[in-house]
């Protein structure tokens, strides 16, 4: 079998930066290193990080209250994950008595900055994304109570009259073409709306690479990553939109080798939270097929 690996597969720079920040503290002997929710959405990598002294506390959406004893807090550090958090959550974490380190992806920080700047100017903010995703929850916190989350055309139609000052941003991991269609629809309701394409470059590269794998002759594509990872799920959906068989797995052990053995050329891509060792294992196993 011929295996083609997408150039963009694996950690994006924002995720890698967050991991490096947490690891730097752990390697200096700071224990525990806490993260407010899972540092990344990959169970296997989180197990590796836990073994290095990096501990997930709180919940997926960074909303739960945390219980940390004063003795533990004095030696611990709290690292904010790449998805970012709301201003309220930031203020709360800083009351816990431990060192605070923000590892929010700078790309997400730019989105938050746009939301905050325009909210202070009286704009209502429309965010394209998953209302339950921690990035979106964090971004809403900068909208000063004037934020609305949309995920499809019906949500735009259901928006109240937002007036003349409206701006639109996107969760960083969404589909570009969907964003553009929704932006056009939003402008149909609010002609003066300011639209900012805040889908990150790493996400766009991954989406482009799926199309490129198809162009290079891949008959099927394996997508590696956590099933709760927003960008990984998007990649799997994009493969299906390319009318190619999609095999979404978390590890090489989940590969359906009998089904994959029917193809001569298979592409491999992975979400932004998928470590290289998992991608390597999948490629090696596929390459054993005749």
**Phi/psi of residue 147, each to 5°?**
-105, 145
Is 210 found in the same domain as 174? no
Mean pLDDT lowest among 23-37, 124-138, 276-290: 23-37
| Calpha distance 34→76 (Å, rounded) | 7
Is 267 found in the same domain as 186? no
Residue at a domain's end among 161, 195, 229: 195
Is 280 found in the same domain as 241? yes
Residue at a domain's end among 172, 195, 218: 195
| Calpha distance 210→223 (Å, rounded) | 10
User: How large a percentage of the chain has pLDDT more than 70?
Assistant: 100
Is 123 found in the same domain as 73? no
pLDDT band at 287 (very low <50, low <70, confident <90, very high): very high
CB-CB contact of 129 with 196 (8 Å): no
Partners of 102 in the β-ladder: 80
Residue at a domain's end among 138, 168, 195: 195
Residue 290: pLDDT over 80: yes
215 Cβ neighbours under 8 A, 6+ residues apart: none
Q: Within 10 Å of residue 27's Cβ, how many Cβ atoms?
A: 11
| Calpha distance 214→210 (Å, rounded) | 7
- The pLDDT of residue 70 is 84
CB-CB contact of 171 with 127 (8 Å): yes
What's the number of domains the chain is made of?
A: 3
| Calpha distance 257→3 (Å, rounded) | 13
Is 64 found in the same domain as 35? yes
Per-position DSSP letters for 70-98, written without gaps between them:
HHHHHH-EEEE-TT---HHHHHHHTTSSS
pLDDT band at 141 (very low <50, low <70, confident <90, very high): very high
Is 178 found in the same domain as 114? yes
- The pLDDT of residue 230 is 84
- The pLDDT of residue 74 is 86
Give the tens place of pLDDT for each residue, 91-126.
999 999 999 999 999 999 999 999 999 999 999 999
| Calpha distance 18→186 (Å, rounded) | 34
Give the tens place of pLDDT for each residue, 33-89.
999 999 988 999 999 999 999 999 988 888 999 988 888 888 899 999 999 999 999
- The pLDDT of residue 111 is 98
What is the extent of the structural domain holding 262? 2-10+201-287
Q: Within 10 Å of residue 253's Cβ, how many Cβ atoms?
A: 9
Q: What is the pTM of this model?
A: 0.93
Is 181 found in the same domain as 131? yes
Computed over every residue of the chain, the mean pLDDT equals 95
- The pLDDT of residue 4 is 98
- The pLDDT of residue 169 is 98
The enclosing domain of 122 has a CATH number of 3.40.1010.20
Is 222 found in the same domain as 189? no
Residue 31: pLDDT over 90: no
Is 212 found in the same domain as 191? no
Is 243 found in the same domain as 277? yes
The enclosing domain of 95 has a CATH number of 3.40.50.11270
Residue 135: active-site member: yes
| Calpha distance 85→100 (Å, rounded) | 13
- The pLDDT of residue 231 is 87
Give the tens place of pLDDT for each residue, 199-237.
999 999 999 999 999 999 999 999 999 988 888 999 999
Is 241 found in the same domain as 252? yes
- Could you say which of 135, 164, 178, 254 is catalytic? 135
Is 116 found in the same domain as 96? no
């Amino acid at each position: 079998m011929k295996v083609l690996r997408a150039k963009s597969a694996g950690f994006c720079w924002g995720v890698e930066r967050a991991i490096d920040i947490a690891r730097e503290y752990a390697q200096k002997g700071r224990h525990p290193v806490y993260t407010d929710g899972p540092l990344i959405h990959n169970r296997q990598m989180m197990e590796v990080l836990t073994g290095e002294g990096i501990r997930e506390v709180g919940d997926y959406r960074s909303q739960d209250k945390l219980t940390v004893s004063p003795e533990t807090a004095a030696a611990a550090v709290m690292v904010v994950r790449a998805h970012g958090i709301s201003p309220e959550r930031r203020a709360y974490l800083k009351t816990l008595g431990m060192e605070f380190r923000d590892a929010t992806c700078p790309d997400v920080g730019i989105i938050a900055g746009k939301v905050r700047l325009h909210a202070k100017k009286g704009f209502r903010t429309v965010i394209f994304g998953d209302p339950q995703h921690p990035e979106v929850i964090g971004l809403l916190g900068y909208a000063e109570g004037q934020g609305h989350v949309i995920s499809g055309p019906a949500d735009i139609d259901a928006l109240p009259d937002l007036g003349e000052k409206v701006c639109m941003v996107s969760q960083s991991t969404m589909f570009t073409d969907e964003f553009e269609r929704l932006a056009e629809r939003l402008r149909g309701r609010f002609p003066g709306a300011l639209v900012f394409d805040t889908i990150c470059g790493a996400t766009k590269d991954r989406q482009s690479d799926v199309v490129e794998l198809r162009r290079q002759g891949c008959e099927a594509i394996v997508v590696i990553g956590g099933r709760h990872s927003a960008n990984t799920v998007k990649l799997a959906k994009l493969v299906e939109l390319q009318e190619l068989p999609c095999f979404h797995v978390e590890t090489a052990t989940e590969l359906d080798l009998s089904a994959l053995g029917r193809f001569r050329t298979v592409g491999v891509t992975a979400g932004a939270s998928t470590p290289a060792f998992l991608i390597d294992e999948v490629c090696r196993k596929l390459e054993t097929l005749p």
